Amino acid sequence: MNSHRISPVFLGIAAVTAAAGWATWTGFAANTGLAVFLFVTGAWVVSLCLHEYAHARTALHSGDISVGAKGYLTLNPLKYTHALLSIVLPLVFVIMGGIGLPGGAVFIERSRIRGRWRHSLISAVGPLTNVAFAVVCTAPFWLDALAGVPPAFQYALAFLALLQVTAALLNFLPVPGLDGYGVIEPWLSRGIRRQVEPFAPFGLLAIFAVLWIPEVNIAFFDAIHGLLRGLGIEELESYCGQNLYRFWQAESPVCVSG
Protein backbone atom coordinates (compact mmCIF):
# COMPACT_ATOMS: atom_id res chain seq x y z
CA MET A 1 0.00 0.00 0.00
CA ASN A 2 1.29 3.48 -0.92
CA SER A 3 0.19 4.84 2.44
CA HIS A 4 2.59 2.43 4.15
CA ARG A 5 5.48 2.61 1.66
CA ILE A 6 8.65 4.34 2.84
CA SER A 7 8.97 7.72 1.15
CA PRO A 8 11.85 8.42 -1.26
CA VAL A 9 12.34 11.67 0.70
CA PHE A 10 13.13 9.70 3.86
CA LEU A 11 15.34 7.25 1.94
CA GLY A 12 17.23 10.21 0.49
CA ILE A 13 17.81 11.68 3.95
CA ALA A 14 18.97 8.30 5.22
CA ALA A 15 21.33 7.93 2.25
CA VAL A 16 22.89 11.36 2.87
CA THR A 17 23.27 10.47 6.55
CA ALA A 18 25.01 7.19 5.69
CA ALA A 19 27.33 8.87 3.18
CA ALA A 20 28.22 11.64 5.64
CA GLY A 21 28.82 9.04 8.35
CA TRP A 22 31.17 7.17 6.03
CA ALA A 23 32.99 10.41 5.18
CA THR A 24 33.31 11.22 8.89
CA TRP A 25 34.65 7.75 9.66
CA THR A 26 37.16 7.58 6.80
CA GLY A 27 38.20 11.23 6.78
CA PHE A 28 37.33 11.28 3.08
CA ALA A 29 35.78 14.76 3.25
CA ALA A 30 38.11 17.72 2.86
CA ASN A 31 36.17 19.41 5.66
CA THR A 32 35.58 16.99 8.54
CA GLY A 33 33.27 19.48 10.25
CA LEU A 34 30.99 19.62 7.21
CA ALA A 35 30.80 15.81 7.15
CA VAL A 36 29.93 15.79 10.87
CA PHE A 37 27.32 18.50 10.28
CA LEU A 38 25.62 16.48 7.53
CA PHE A 39 25.86 13.23 9.48
CA VAL A 40 24.43 14.59 12.74
CA THR A 41 21.79 16.71 10.99
CA GLY A 42 20.69 13.78 8.84
CA ALA A 43 20.59 11.40 11.79
CA TRP A 44 18.64 13.97 13.83
CA VAL A 45 16.03 14.34 11.07
CA VAL A 46 15.82 10.55 10.78
CA SER A 47 15.17 10.33 14.52
CA LEU A 48 12.46 13.01 14.25
CA CYS A 49 10.78 11.02 11.49
CA LEU A 50 10.93 7.81 13.52
CA HIS A 51 9.60 9.69 16.56
CA GLU A 52 6.52 10.78 14.63
CA TYR A 53 6.19 7.40 12.93
CA ALA A 54 6.03 5.76 16.35
CA HIS A 55 3.12 8.05 17.30
CA ALA A 56 1.30 7.29 14.06
CA ARG A 57 1.89 3.53 14.05
CA THR A 58 0.71 3.20 17.64
CA ALA A 59 -2.35 5.32 16.86
CA LEU A 60 -3.13 3.10 13.87
CA HIS A 61 -3.13 -0.02 16.03
CA SER A 62 -5.20 1.81 18.64
CA GLY A 63 -8.02 2.67 16.26
CA ASP A 64 -7.08 5.78 14.26
CA ILE A 65 -6.97 4.43 10.71
CA SER A 66 -6.80 7.97 9.30
CA VAL A 67 -3.02 8.20 9.86
CA GLY A 68 -2.35 6.15 6.73
CA ALA A 69 -4.27 8.50 4.43
CA LYS A 70 -2.41 11.46 5.94
CA GLY A 71 0.93 9.95 4.91
CA TYR A 72 2.27 9.62 8.42
CA LEU A 73 3.33 6.02 7.88
CA THR A 74 5.63 6.84 4.97
CA LEU A 75 8.26 8.54 7.18
CA ASN A 76 8.06 11.56 4.87
CA PRO A 77 8.70 14.70 6.97
CA LEU A 78 6.89 16.81 4.35
CA LYS A 79 3.63 15.09 5.33
CA TYR A 80 3.68 16.40 8.88
CA THR A 81 0.94 18.74 10.00
CA HIS A 82 3.44 21.32 11.26
CA ALA A 83 6.64 20.96 9.27
CA LEU A 84 7.95 24.18 10.86
CA LEU A 85 7.54 22.84 14.40
CA SER A 86 8.55 19.29 13.48
CA ILE A 87 11.71 19.82 11.46
CA VAL A 88 12.72 23.47 11.00
CA LEU A 89 12.59 24.68 14.62
CA PRO A 90 14.30 21.57 16.07
CA LEU A 91 17.11 22.04 13.52
CA VAL A 92 17.43 25.72 14.41
CA PHE A 93 17.66 24.85 18.10
CA VAL A 94 20.36 22.26 17.39
CA ILE A 95 22.42 24.72 15.34
CA MET A 96 21.98 27.59 17.80
CA GLY A 97 22.45 25.88 21.11
CA GLY A 98 22.97 22.15 20.76
CA ILE A 99 19.58 21.40 22.29
CA GLY A 100 17.47 18.52 21.00
CA LEU A 101 14.12 20.22 21.37
CA PRO A 102 11.14 18.12 20.29
CA GLY A 103 8.56 19.27 17.77
CA GLY A 104 4.84 18.78 17.19
CA ALA A 105 3.85 17.03 14.03
CA VAL A 106 1.25 14.33 13.51
CA PHE A 107 -2.43 14.96 14.11
CA ILE A 108 -4.07 11.99 15.82
CA GLU A 109 -7.86 11.75 15.75
CA ARG A 110 -8.21 10.96 19.42
CA SER A 111 -11.97 10.48 19.16
CA ARG A 112 -11.33 7.22 17.29
CA ILE A 113 -9.31 5.78 20.19
CA ARG A 114 -10.81 4.16 23.26
CA GLY A 115 -9.01 3.64 26.54
CA ARG A 116 -6.83 6.00 28.53
CA TRP A 117 -3.87 3.64 28.45
CA ARG A 118 -3.87 3.72 24.64
CA HIS A 119 -3.89 7.51 24.59
CA SER A 120 -0.98 7.60 27.03
CA LEU A 121 0.97 5.02 25.04
CA ILE A 122 0.53 6.97 21.80
CA SER A 123 2.15 9.98 23.45
CA ALA A 124 4.88 8.01 25.21
CA VAL A 125 6.25 6.08 22.22
CA GLY A 126 7.65 9.23 20.57
CA PRO A 127 10.17 10.17 23.26
CA LEU A 128 10.82 6.47 23.88
CA THR A 129 12.08 6.40 20.29
CA ASN A 130 14.60 9.09 21.24
CA VAL A 131 15.59 6.97 24.24
CA ALA A 132 16.21 4.01 21.90
CA PHE A 133 18.24 6.24 19.59
CA ALA A 134 20.31 7.42 22.57
CA VAL A 135 20.99 3.83 23.59
CA VAL A 136 22.26 3.02 20.09
CA CYS A 137 24.46 6.14 19.96
CA THR A 138 25.97 5.51 23.38
CA ALA A 139 26.37 1.73 23.01
CA PRO A 140 29.99 1.90 21.74
CA PHE A 141 30.88 3.96 24.83
CA TRP A 142 29.26 1.89 27.57
CA LEU A 143 30.24 -1.35 25.81
CA ASP A 144 33.85 -0.11 25.69
CA ALA A 145 33.88 -0.80 21.95
CA LEU A 146 35.62 2.34 20.71
CA ALA A 147 38.85 0.68 19.63
CA GLY A 148 39.49 1.64 16.02
CA VAL A 149 36.71 4.23 15.92
CA PRO A 150 38.08 7.54 14.58
CA PRO A 151 37.88 10.44 17.07
CA ALA A 152 35.67 12.57 14.77
CA PHE A 153 33.09 9.79 14.54
CA GLN A 154 33.21 9.28 18.32
CA TYR A 155 32.59 12.99 18.86
CA ALA A 156 29.75 13.01 16.34
CA LEU A 157 28.07 10.09 18.13
CA ALA A 158 28.56 11.80 21.49
CA PHE A 159 26.90 15.01 20.26
CA LEU A 160 24.08 13.07 18.61
CA ALA A 161 23.54 11.19 21.87
CA LEU A 162 23.34 14.51 23.72
CA LEU A 163 20.61 15.65 21.31
CA GLN A 164 18.64 12.45 21.79
CA VAL A 165 18.88 12.59 25.58
CA THR A 166 17.78 16.22 25.69
CA ALA A 167 14.90 15.51 23.30
CA ALA A 168 13.69 12.57 25.38
CA LEU A 169 14.00 14.42 28.68
CA LEU A 170 12.32 17.61 27.46
CA ASN A 171 9.55 15.78 25.66
CA PHE A 172 8.68 13.81 28.78
CA LEU A 173 8.08 17.02 30.73
CA PRO A 174 4.36 17.37 31.64
CA VAL A 175 4.07 20.64 29.72
CA PRO A 176 1.03 21.28 27.50
CA GLY A 177 1.90 20.63 23.88
CA LEU A 178 4.60 18.08 24.69
CA ASP A 179 4.32 14.31 24.85
CA GLY A 180 4.83 14.23 28.60
CA TYR A 181 1.57 16.12 29.05
CA GLY A 182 -0.05 13.81 26.50
CA VAL A 183 0.84 10.86 28.72
CA ILE A 184 -0.97 12.26 31.75
CA GLU A 185 -3.75 14.17 29.97
CA PRO A 186 -6.15 11.19 29.66
CA TRP A 187 -6.07 10.84 33.45
CA LEU A 188 -6.97 14.47 34.16
CA SER A 189 -10.50 15.74 34.69
CA ARG A 190 -12.34 17.30 31.78
CA GLY A 191 -12.29 20.68 33.54
CA ILE A 192 -8.51 20.71 33.94
CA ARG A 193 -8.00 19.63 30.32
CA ARG A 194 -10.26 22.44 29.12
CA GLN A 195 -8.34 25.02 31.17
CA VAL A 196 -4.94 23.82 29.97
CA GLU A 197 -5.84 23.39 26.28
CA PRO A 198 -5.30 27.07 25.25
CA PHE A 199 -1.68 26.90 26.44
CA ALA A 200 -0.72 23.87 24.35
CA PRO A 201 0.52 25.84 21.30
CA PHE A 202 2.96 27.75 23.49
CA GLY A 203 4.48 24.87 25.47
CA LEU A 204 7.52 24.42 23.23
CA LEU A 205 8.26 28.15 23.16
CA ALA A 206 7.91 28.30 26.94
CA ILE A 207 10.50 25.55 27.32
CA PHE A 208 12.89 27.41 25.05
CA ALA A 209 12.36 30.65 26.99
CA VAL A 210 13.00 28.96 30.34
CA LEU A 211 16.17 27.30 29.03
CA TRP A 212 17.38 30.76 28.00
CA ILE A 213 17.71 31.61 31.70
CA PRO A 214 21.43 31.01 32.47
CA GLU A 215 20.90 29.31 35.84
CA VAL A 216 18.28 26.95 34.41
CA ASN A 217 20.42 26.23 31.36
CA ILE A 218 23.44 25.35 33.51
CA ALA A 219 21.42 23.10 35.82
CA PHE A 220 19.74 21.40 32.87
CA PHE A 221 22.96 20.61 31.05
CA ASP A 222 24.63 19.49 34.28
CA ALA A 223 21.85 16.90 34.56
CA ILE A 224 22.23 15.93 30.89
CA HIS A 225 25.98 15.47 31.16
CA GLY A 226 25.48 13.49 34.36
CA LEU A 227 23.23 11.08 32.46
CA LEU A 228 25.70 10.87 29.59
CA ARG A 229 28.58 10.14 31.96
CA GLY A 230 26.55 7.23 33.26
CA LEU A 231 26.43 6.01 29.66
CA GLY A 232 30.16 6.38 29.17
CA ILE A 233 30.29 9.78 27.41
CA GLU A 234 32.37 12.54 28.94
CA GLU A 235 31.37 16.18 28.56
CA LEU A 236 34.50 16.90 26.53
CA GLU A 237 33.45 14.34 23.90
CA SER A 238 30.00 15.85 23.34
CA TYR A 239 31.56 19.33 23.42
CA CYS A 240 34.02 18.35 20.70
CA GLY A 241 31.18 16.85 18.69
CA GLN A 242 29.27 20.12 18.86
CA ASN A 243 32.45 22.01 18.04
CA LEU A 244 32.96 19.93 14.89
CA TYR A 245 29.26 20.22 14.03
CA ARG A 246 29.49 24.02 14.03
CA PHE A 247 32.23 23.87 11.41
CA TRP A 248 31.84 27.53 10.47
CA GLN A 249 33.41 28.47 13.80
CA ALA A 250 37.06 28.10 14.78
CA GLU A 251 37.88 24.58 15.95
CA SER A 252 38.73 24.23 19.62
CA PRO A 253 42.40 23.31 20.19
CA VAL A 254 41.37 20.68 22.76
CA CYS A 255 39.43 18.71 20.15
CA VAL A 256 41.21 16.38 17.75
CA SER A 257 39.13 15.80 14.61
CA GLY A 258 41.29 13.34 12.84
Active site residues: 52
Own/partner contacts of 237-241, CB < 8 Å, gap of 24 or more, are 237/154, 237/155, 237/158, 238/155, 238/158, 238/159, 238/161, 238/162, 240/151, 240/155, 240/158, 240/159, 241/36, 241/40, 241/155, 241/156, 241/157, 241/158, 241/159, 241/160, 241/162
Residue 17 · residue 43 · CB < 8 Å: yes
Q: What amino acid is encoded at 235 in this protein? A: E
CA separation (Å) from 235 to 91, 221, 225, 242, 256? 22, 10, 6, 11, 15
Instruction: Return d(Cα 179, Cα 152) in angstroms, integer.
Output: 33
- Could you report how far apart the first and last alpha carbons of the chain are, in Å? 45
Residue 164 · residue 254 · CB < 8 Å: no
Q: Given its phi and psi angles, is residue 147 left (phi above 0), alpha (psi -120 to 50 degrees) or beta?
A: beta
